[in-house]
Amino acid sequence: MWRTRKTEEEKDPFVNRKEEPPLSPFEEKKPMEPRFEPRPNPIREEVVNIGKSVYIKGELSGDEDLTIEGRVEGRIELKAHNLVIGPNGRINAEVYAKNVTIIGSVVGNITGSEIVEIRASGSVVGDIKSPRISIADGAHFKGSVDMQKGSEEPKKVEFSRPETVKPSVDPVPLKTLIK
């Protein structure tokens, strides 16, 4: 007899129904993600600079990146590091490094385990061995460039050859034709 008033929610239980979080005695939290923030390493970031007035004769080797603005005669070995011959750098030496950038001048052979780059103002007289090279326009270079053996095998040079007409069927052995 009595009409009970039904709210909309009661009519359709899925309308305006908010999702309730599952009951749990513990508050759910996202797991903490590891955060790696690079810390400045004063030793690593430094690049050693050999100044304009410095003249070194002999063997120069090291375990960090190096920029040379002075003069070096002999041998430079920074096998796993970068070497920059600055605009004032004058090198008369055999050079071994990972990346070699020449803005000044080098007389001697250069071996780079990654790349040897001669910038526009750079000058090289000597042979270069490296898997990659870059020679800017205006650079002076006299010598040879060759891919370093071992680090990366050079691609077999593939050029187009004159096309040969292929037989449509298997070629008949020559012996069967000659009777």
**Residues in the site for other proteins, rule: CB under 8 A?**
115, 118, 132-137, 139-147, 154-162
* HSE-CB for 117 with a 13 A CA cutoff: 14
Do 79 and 113 contact (CB within 8 A), yes or no?
yes
CB 36 to other proteins: min, Å: 32
Q: Which amino acid is at 169?
A: V
Do 129 and 112 contact (CB within 8 A), yes or no?
yes
Do 108 and 123 contact (CB within 8 A), yes or no?
no
Angle among Cα 123, 129, 107 to the nearest 5 degrees reads 30
CB 161 to other proteins: min, Å: 7
Comparing CB distances to other proteins, the nearer of 50 and 83 is 83
CB 153 to other proteins: min, Å: 8
CB 64 to other proteins: min, Å: 25
Comparing CB distances to other proteins, the nearer of 50 and 118 is 118
